[in-house]
Amino acid sequence: MTTTALVEQIKLKKSFLCVGLDVDLDKIPKHLLDLEDPIFEFCKTIIDATAPYCVAYKPNIAFFEAYGLKGWQSLERVIQYLNTSYPEQFTIADAKRGDIGNTATRYAKAFFDQLQFDALTVAPYMGQDSVEPFLAFEAHHTILLALTSNSGASDFQYTKESDQPLYLKVIEKAQNWKGSERLMYVVGATKTAALRKIRSCIPNAFLLVPGVGAQGGSLDEVAAEGLNKQCGLLVNSSRGIIYAASDESYAEAAADAARVLQNQMAHWLSQKAIV
Amino acid sequence: MTTTALVEQIKLKKSFLCVGLDVDLDKIPKHLLDLEDPIFEFCKTIIDATAPYCVAYKPNIAFFEAYGLKGWQSLERVIQYLNTSYPEQFTIADAKRGDIGNTATRYAKAFFDQLQFDALTVAPYMGQDSVEPFLAFEAHHTILLALTSNSGASDFQYTKESDQPLYLKVIEKAQNWKGSERLMYVVGATKTAALRKIRSCIPNAFLLVPGVGAQGGSLDEVAAEGLNKQCGLLVNSSRGIIYAASDESYAEAAADAARVLQNQMAHWLSQKAIV
């Protein structure tokens, strides 16, 4: 999916919401556990309920991998369902992969060719030759971790060399990598001041912003600092939507939670004259 | 597997060799491709041939993941074969995972509980709360990327703050994390000067050293700088061993290549009075 197509969807739906699929068997409604593939059934219902209000889905790969072969099977079914029933949705494999050359290409093949995700999250620690193999896949996007929303982000991501924090160095260096026009960046919603700096450094890039909701980030602050002319934001919410209710009303509750965020987003898109 | 048990094996076999299983269907002998599970068959033969000369195996997870469900099935069979037939071998899932809290725990469960690997490689970029969940698994080891052997390592890993490069900051900070006694570190064989610095910073830790052979690192330099009283090294070779020959003699050729490295290692272990 191209960025142009993504922007079209954002305008059409007046939403830059990404729904995170962090499917925990301990948290999904109990009545699903008797089904043959509860992970898929839960995802399918959540997708059907929230699709009108969002433009992207982000399965968290760890939650599938944790269930071994069965989990991998569920993941295949989820992405297949998305690609077949909702081809207009942007799909992100949140896998935070990162390895060199040949190995990186294998990961890219797994997520881009085999599973046909639009995008994959990638860690920058190993540098250029660990990211460029992902960027070589032309119809796909690589979402590089820049500044994450967790407390441990402060351990290394702010490491300062000549007054430049590491997260900015990552973003600046990445601009020169081959295929960098297909890069997006993870920037946590809990770091508003940094979001401003990042936006001035890369005015046109798309940012994937986790941390709104359960992690305490504010959608209004993110929108105020992060929106650019073509939107340029995907704001993710996982737990706040998919676990909005834990009983049989979970689909309705998820739709409601997604709609609340979408309304707020529509307001911002109109205020910034994007729609 | 405890570090004590690993050291016992090192002394018994006079080897600190780790064989990397980077199984590429384009590179394995053609006659295997007709079998039902060529990846497993190749790994099994390589393991049977090289087991006398090494103390660890490191499946590169990307190479399995790239084949989707089938690849995951092969991985399950490989680790099961190792754990059943060679329980004395230390097993490392080279997956370079890294994510926060809950998600990290899922990855740990996948590799430690489900697949029963002894160890997992983990990227440090997201900091303390992305690594400690792995360290909570008591019978297992987390191998943190410190300084990698690829050229891109120079992009961020040498970022200097108050004269301290990032790779040393990673190692120093990690010492204070809960469960840090179960940490090992990846240090590329192509960085001998840095290896000296790292060894003086963590004299007792185990280092996993890739980059010997195909990537140009020298085993002698690594041994000279890296060996400590209890050995403290696992030196990995992948392509140099598993693709030593591409015809039907591949098992024999792999055994020969492993034996050459083991001989060199035996010499170093005796010179340093470890055996």
How does pLDDT run across B95-116, given as a tens digit for each residue? Answer: 999 999 889 999 999 999 999 9
Confidence check: pLDDT of B215 > 80: no
Q: Which chain A residue has the Cα nearest residue B110?
A: A66
- Closest residue in B to A153 (Cα) is B126
B96 touches chain A (CB under 8 A): yes
A11 interface with B at CB cutoff 8 Å: no
CA separation for the pair B192, B226 (Å, rounded): 9
Active-site residue numbers of B? 96
Measured in degrees and rounded to the nearest 5, phi and psi for residue A237 equal: -135, 130
CA distance B145 to A87: 37
Residue A255 has pLDDT above 90, yes or no: yes
Six token digits for residue A105: 């290409």
Instruction: Determine the average pLDDT of the residues in B230-243.
Output: 97
Q: Say how far apart CA A16 and CA A9 lie, in whole Å.
A: 9
For residue A229, indicate whether it is catalytic.
no
Q: Of the candidates A115, A128, A159, which has its C-beta nearest B166's C-beta?
A: A159
Burial of B44 (0-12, 13-18, 19+ CB in 10 A): middle
Beta strands B160-161 and B164-165 are antiparallel
List the catalytic residue out of A11, A44, A96, A197.
A96
How far is Cα A97 from Cα A104, in angstroms, rounded to an integer? 8
Chain A residue with CA closest to B94: the answer is A99
Please give the tally of structural domains in chain B.
Answer: 1
CB of B172 less than 8 A from some CB of A:
no
Q: What is the pLDDT of residue A191?
A: 86
Phi and psi at B89, nearest 5°, equal -85, 140
Tokens for B270? 């005796």
Do residue B123 and residue A123 have CB atoms under 8 angstroms apart? yes
- For A126-176, the pLDDT digits (tens) are 999 999 999 999 999 999 999 999 999 999 999 999 999 999 999 999 999
Tell whether A214 lies on the interface with B, counting CB pairs under 8 A. Answer: no
Domain of residue B52, CATH code: 3.20.20.70
Place of tokens 């090294």: B233
Q: Does A186 touch chain B (CB under 8 A)?
A: no
Query: ipTM value of the model?
Result: 0.95
A29-57 average pLDDT score: 97
Per-residue pLDDT tens for B193-207? 999 999 999 999 999
Helix (H) or strand (E) run with residue B146 in it: strand B141-147
> What is the predicted pLDDT for the residue at B223?
97
Angstroms from B271 CA to nearest CA on chain A: 34
pLDDT digits (tens, 9 = 90+) for B7-53: 999 999 999 999 999 999 999 999 999 999 999 999 999 999 999 99
Q: Mind telling me how many Å the CA of A159 is from chain B's nearest CA?
A: 6
B169 near B146, Cβ under 8 Å? Answer: no
Based on the number of CB atoms within 10 Å of its own CB, is B23 exposed (0-12), middle (13-18) or buried (19 or more)? buried
Percent of chain B with pLDDT over 70: 100
Q: What string of DSSP letters covers B30-89?
A: GGGGGSS-HHHHHHHHHHHHHGGG-SEEEEBHHHHHTTHHHHHHHHHHHHHHHHHH-TTS
Nearest residue on chain A to B150, alpha-carbon basis? A100
Residues 6+ apart with CB under 8 A from B167: B146, B147, B157, B158, B194, B198
Report pLDDT for A214.
73
Is the per-residue pLDDT at B256 higher than 80?
Answer: yes
C-beta atoms surrounding B33 within 10 Å: 12
Question: Whole domain around residue A61: which residue ranges?
Answer: 3-271
Has residue A50 got a pLDDT over 90?
yes
- Exposure string of B125-164, with b = 16+ CB inside 10 Å and e = fewer, is bbbbbbbbbbbebeebbbbbbbbbbbbbbebbbbbebeee
- Beta strand A160-161 with A164-165: parallel, antiparallel or unpaired? antiparallel
The mean of the pLDDT values for chain A is 96
First to last CA, chain B: 21
Q: How far apart are CA A240 and CA A225, in angstroms?
A: 22
Chain B nearest-CA distance from A256, in A, is 25
pLDDT at B214 over 80: no
Q: What residues pair up with A55 in beta bridges, in sequence order?
A: none
Residue with tokens 């018994």: B12
Is residue B264 predicted with pLDDT exceeding 80? yes
Chain B contact set for A123 (CB, 8 A): 96, 98, 123, 125-126
Place of tokens 């009283």: B229
Whole-angstrom distance, CA of residue B264 vs CA of residue B258: 10
A95 closest CA partner among A40, A142, A147: A142
What is the CA angle A209-A214-A217, rounded to 5? Answer: 45
pTM above 0.80, yes or no: yes
Question: Which of B65, B116, B170 is the best substitution to test chain A (most A C-beta atoms within 10 A)?
Answer: B65
